[in-house]
Amino acid sequence: MEESETIVILGAGIIGLDVALVLSERGYGRYVTVKAEYLPGDSAGTYTSPWAGCNFSAISGSNPNELKWDRLGYAHLTKLASERPDEAFVQRTPSTEMWDEEVPYSKIEAMSEYLEDFHVLPESQLPKGVKHAVSFTTVTINAPKHMEYLYRRLRDQYGVRFVRQRVSSLQDAFANPATRVAFNCTGNASRSLPGVEDHKCYPTRGQVVLCRAPRVTSNIMRHGRDYETYVIPRPGSNGNVILGGYMQRRNSDCATYSYETKSILDRTRELSSEVCQEEVEILAAFAGLRPSRDGGARIERENISVAGETRIVVHNYGAGGTGFQAGYGMAWEAVRSVEDVLRQLKNLHPRPRM
Ligand SMILES: Cc1cc2nc3c(=O)[nH]c(=O)nc-3n(C[C@H](O)[C@H](O)[C@H](O)COP(=O)(O)OP(=O)(O)OC[C@H]3O[C@@H](n4cnc5c(N)ncnc54)[C@H](O)[C@@H]3O)c2cc1C
């Protein structure tokens, strides 16, 4: 009990799970407890991860950090798609992405270095109104099932503990005096959680439609000035597809609307010849809140005072619309920031000799 709370991760969305995974892969799983109000398998308006589309795409920003996190994330997800696609619910999928506006050249160049089968489409092949388009092999992810896979793997293979608990402040992460470091992976809650209260955080609402359309096998996205339309086949779901979507900044409404569902169906039929030719059966509409942040995600080590003592926190939140594609890279960076603390742990709790 004491040993397993040496490292506490607040939050069991994809960001917290990826931190637990990176720690576990480096041999620290037995020191980790994940504490969260919602755990994989749950659904709630304030728990974003189960609602994700979900794929790897070019929607992330183009600063060096975001490019680096994406690259690490792509390597991680394609490895899973090669080694255990069915178990992890991750699959390689052909993808086309189109933009109505200019895309920073540095971003396209960075992507072209590592995305499999990457091509820039010639101008002659672009639909009306599209300025740029690329094709590549992406990874599609069944978000809720992938989270349950991570949960089982972390618990059964690496000995990570999961505790359902709502904390009332960041300082609560240190309720056990044995806790040496806490990772704050609370997503949208970082705006209001006492001890964090980061007013740069805001939600970006998205409605999506879950459909059964087994003949849709390609990922396709069109990024417009004021719209976002996409089709994402869902691995391991017997032919389900996510149709989207919306990017509504500073909107925290978790309700779904039939006029938005209609707009999504109209737009995706126009975008994808596969959807257009398919008898699409609507199964459900969902709305989720991406944890966005002015200036991008925050990955930062900080000393805080708890009952008069200095404690180490690593913040890792604000992933916006890229938590699944960038989460592993973000986790890698968050864990690297406490390398010095981690090195001491194995001396602190040596394994008993057999
Ligand atoms: C419609 C939609 C489509 C998307 N599509 C994609 C996509 O295609 N690709 C992609 O990469 N990303 C996509 N995203 C974005 C992705 O879902 C998010 O970036 C990601 O889920 C954020 O994860 P998180 O762990 O930060 O937050 P969350 O999943 O919200 O997890 C937060 C965790 O913190 C816990 N918590 C919060 N407050 C407390 C407290 N006080 N005490 C204890 N626990 C607490 C919660 O219970 C939860 O466990 C999409 C999102 C939406 C909404």
Q: Residue 347: pLDDT above 80?
A: no
The band of 287, judged by pLDDT with boundaries at 50, 70 and 90, is very high
pLDDT reported for residue 3: 86
The average pLDDT across 289-315 equals: 96
pLDDT reported for residue 34: 98
The average pLDDT across 259-282 equals: 95
Which of 186, 261, 264 should be mutated for ligand 1, with most atoms under 8 A from CB?
A: 186
Full domain range(s) for residue 10: 1-54+142-200+294-354
The band of 239, judged by pLDDT with boundaries at 50, 70 and 90, is very high
Q: Provide, rounded to the nearest whole percent, the portion of the chain with pLDDT above 70.
A: 97
316 lies in a domain? yes
pLDDT reported for residue 350: 63
- CATH classification of the domain holding 312: 3.40.50.720
79 lies in a domain? no
* DSSP letters spanning 264-285: HHHHHHHH-HHHHTS-PEEEEE
pLDDT reported for residue 345: 86
Q: Residue 346: pLDDT above 90?
A: no
Mean pLDDT of the chain: 95
Distance CA(209)–CA(215), nearest Å, equals 17
What is the number of the ligand 1 atom nearest to the C-alpha of 327? Answer: 11
74 lies in a domain? no
- Sequence-distant (6+) residues with CB within 8 A of 274 are 213, 215, 216, 217, 218, 231
* More confidently predicted of 136 and 60: 136
Q: Residue 354: pLDDT above 60?
A: no
The band of 2, judged by pLDDT with boundaries at 50, 70 and 90, is low
Q: Residues lining ligand 1, judged by CB closer than 6 Å?
A: 10-16, 36-38, 47-49, 51-55, 166-167, 185-189, 193, 206, 208, 245, 288, 290-291, 317, 319-325
What residue owns the CA closest to ligand 1's atom 10? 322
126 lies in a domain? no
Q: Determine contact, residues 328/354, Cβ cutoff 8 Å.
A: no
- How far, in Å, from the CA of 283 to the mean position of ligand 1? 22
**CA distances for 296 relative to 49, 322, 332, angstroms:** 18, 11, 17
Q: Residue 348: pLDDT above 80?
A: no
149 lies in a domain? yes
Comparing CA positions, the residue from 100, 161, 95, 102 lying closest to residue 325 is 95
Which of 39, 49, 97, 210 should be mutated for ligand 1, with most atoms under 8 A from CB?
A: 49
Which of 18, 34, 48 should be mutated for ligand 1, with most atoms under 8 A from CB?
A: 48
107 lies in a domain? no
318 lies in a domain? yes
Residue 54: exposure state from Cβ atoms within 10 A (0-12, 13-18, ≥19):
buried
Q: Residue 74: pLDDT above 70?
A: yes
What is the number of the ligand 1 atom nearest to the C-alpha of 321? Answer: 15
**Number of independent structural domains in the chain:** 1
- How far, in Å, from the CA of 117 to the mean position of ligand 1? 30
Q: What pLDDT digit, counting tens, does each position of 101-140 carry?
A: 988 778 888 989 999 999 999 999 999 999 999 999 999 9
Q: Residue 254: pLDDT above 70?
A: yes
301 lies in a domain? yes
Q: What pLDDT digit, counting tens, does each position of 155-181 carry?
A: 999 999 999 999 999 999 999 999 999
The average pLDDT across 50-73 equals: 92
- How far, in Å, from the CA of 195 to the mean position of ligand 1? 20
The band of 1, judged by pLDDT with boundaries at 50, 70 and 90, is low
